[in-house]
Structure formats: structure tokens, C-alpha cells
Amino acid sequence: MSKIEINNVYKIFGNNPKSVLPLVKDGSSKEEILENTGHTVGLDNVSMKIEEGEIFVCMGLSGSGKSTLIRHLNRLIDPTEGEIIVEGTDVLTLSKDKLIDFRRHKMSMVFQRFGLFPHKTVIQNVGYGLEMQGITENERNKTAMEKIESVGLSGFENQYPNQLSGGMQQRVGLARALATDTDIMLMDEAFSALDPLIRSDMQKQLLDLQSQLKKTIVFITHDLDESLRLGDHIGILNAGKLVQVGRPVDIIMNPADDYVAAFVKDVNRAKVIKAKVIMTPKDKVNGMDKTNLVKVQEDQFIEEFLPQVVCTNANCEVVDKQGNVKGYITNKELKESLTKGK
């Protein structure tokens, strides 16, 4: 069973969304619905599964429905129709009290604009979710300090938000989400307000933490490079419709339509494609010249071994961490992988 299942979700904004739903199901476009009814289609029959312990990235341009989608998961928004299943429970059936408990213990959220309390110190902000859970001050301060240290803010626990840079404030927001120790973290454009260098640093911080914590993370962004760096799987939305779901390499190598192709056409594929993705298994290789081989690890990205291959005009032998040969990549196959579909 998947950690999160989103089944046939529609969201229509307006005075009478139920009356407009049949038009959406019959195939009327978002533009037609708005012009003819004054309603806005937020989500159009979206279904996806998110597995435990993965970073699932939802991306798309402004107005694509990605932020609308993430707000359905903790019921900040209710769908016009559809199911939101978390660990086998339909969250739409939860009573008000159970929904509050669900938000406190099951999901935490990191916002784009930090969402910190200006009158509370860093340690008070980080411990706020624990305070809402009824945890004693000593215990929540202990936990808050652990999370402050984990995001590199030791020594700043008694500062106020306005004394911190934007990147540091976002670290506080991340620490607050980690402090409640929820299984699921929702991150809505969490790094979009940051300068490029700080943003890159926060992405690395998140990946480092995720390698230890194995949370289930739903991450919203409009930035393809961020999606490719963070996502185990990526779902791409366009005008409220989910147009493709796949691993980063699937999105790059096999875009589902012109919309996705336009997103990925300028991507540096060498940064996102690993050797094992394009290799031919060793038992299926026939007639390849093996006299001049560059040995590469199966989890290496192409950019790491491309210069050596180009300089020597060699083929590649792909091995696992133990040195066992897993397959081969010809020089020709390597070049084709960088241009396929362009």
C-alpha cells in the first residue's frame, strides 16, 4: 500500500462547482470553463501514488495546480470530488477533532515565506508544533535544540526571526517541521524565495537530512533543476491535469507531450542520467570492442566520466560498488543518450 494515494481528484473554484463538474469531465478546457461559467479549474482528475520514504516532487508553471494539490493532502482545501488516502485512511472522512490530530501528528508543512512567529525566538518557533501537542517545555526545548543543530543553527536558538537571514529563517521552518517527527512533510515552494546559492545549500541540506530520516516528502516547485535534484519521482501538472509521472530520467528521456518536452529541452542530461540507466547488461552485449574501456560506477552521473570518455574515445565498463561488471556503454550510446528526443 502506498503512503499517499490521490484518486480522481477534481477541484473547481466558484459559486457552484458541482454544477460545473460535468463540463470538466466532458473535456471542456480550463479556459472554456472560466469564460462560460466564471469558475476556475484547479485540479482535473488527478490520480497519483506516493511511496513511503521518497521525495515526490510536483512541478508546473504558475496556475498549473501544484499548490492546490498539496493543500488537499492535509485538507486545507477539500476537493470537489475524489479521494485522498493516507496510510489507508480517507482524510475526507475525518471529523474536525481527528483532522486537527492528523495535522499535528501525521503531517508537517514548510512554507515558501517561512511562516515564523516574529515575537517568538528560534527555539520557541521550532518547538511550537510540540507545544500544540502538549509536550512539556523541557522536553520540547530538548527536541527543538536537536533539530536546530541538525539544520546548522546552533548558537542562534535565542535570536528572533528578524535577526536572521532568509536562508536561516527557512532553516528554522525546516527544523520546526522536523521537530514534530511526522511521517510526512509537505514543502510548498519552500526554497523559491531564497537566493540561488542559499537555495542550493538548502537543497543539499534536505537531501542530507533525508538520507538519515527517510521521511515521505511532497515537494512543490516550478523549477525543473530543483525537481531533478530532489525528486525520486516527479509529477508534472499543466492546467490542473497531471500530464506525466516518472523518475527524473524518465521525464528527461521520454517526455509525455510537448509541454513536458519544452520543460526539459535545455536540461543538461549529463547531470541527471546515471551510467546504469543507459548501459546494456553484460549478457546482452555482443561484438563490442573491449580493448579500450573506461571503468565507471553504475551510480555515477554521466558528467563525472564524460570528459575521460571523450578524450579517449573509449567505451565504458559499468561496475557495482564491489567491482562486479554489470554492463557496458558504447561511445555511440553515450552520445545518443545526451541528445535523444531533442
Q: At what angle do helices 166-179 and 137-150 cross, to 10 degrees?
A: 130
CATH level 3 topology of 4-106+182-267: Rossmann fold (3.40.50)
Asked whether the beta carbons of 28 and 55 are under 8 A apart, the reply is no
CATH code of the domain made up of 271-337: 3.90.1280.20
CB contact set of 156 (below 8 Å; sequence gap of 6+): 122, 148, 164, 168
Tell me the per-residue pLDDT of 224-238, one tens digit each, with 9 for 90 and over. 888 888 899 999 999
pLDDT confidence band for 53 (50 / 70 / 90)? very high
Q: What is the pLDDT of residues 126-174, one digit of tens each?
A: 998 888 888 898 998 999 998 898 888 889 999 998 898 888 888 888 8
Percent of the chain whose predicted confidence (pLDDT) is above 90: 45
Enumerate the β-bridge partners of residue 315. 293
Closest CA to 282 of 334, 320, 317: 317
Closest by Cα among 31, 44, 186 to 111: 186
Torsion angle (degrees, nearest 10) of CA 289, 295, 300, 306: -60
288: CB partners within 8 A, 6+ apart:
315, 328, 330
**Over the stretch 85-135, which tens digit does the pLDDT of each residue have?**
999 999 999 999 999 888 888 888 877 666 788 999 999 999 988 888 888
All cell numbers assigned to 21: 463538474
User: How many C-beta neighbours within 10 Å does residue 24 have?
Assistant: 25
Range of 47-56, 160-169, 286-295 with top mean pLDDT: 47-56
Q: Per the structure block, which three cell numbers stand in for 237?
A: 501538472
pLDDT > 60? residue 191: yes
The domain limits of the chain are: 4-106+182-267, 271-337
10-19, 135-144, 192-201, 317-326 — most confident range: 10-19
Cα angle 125-193-49, degrees, rounded to a multiple of 5: 85
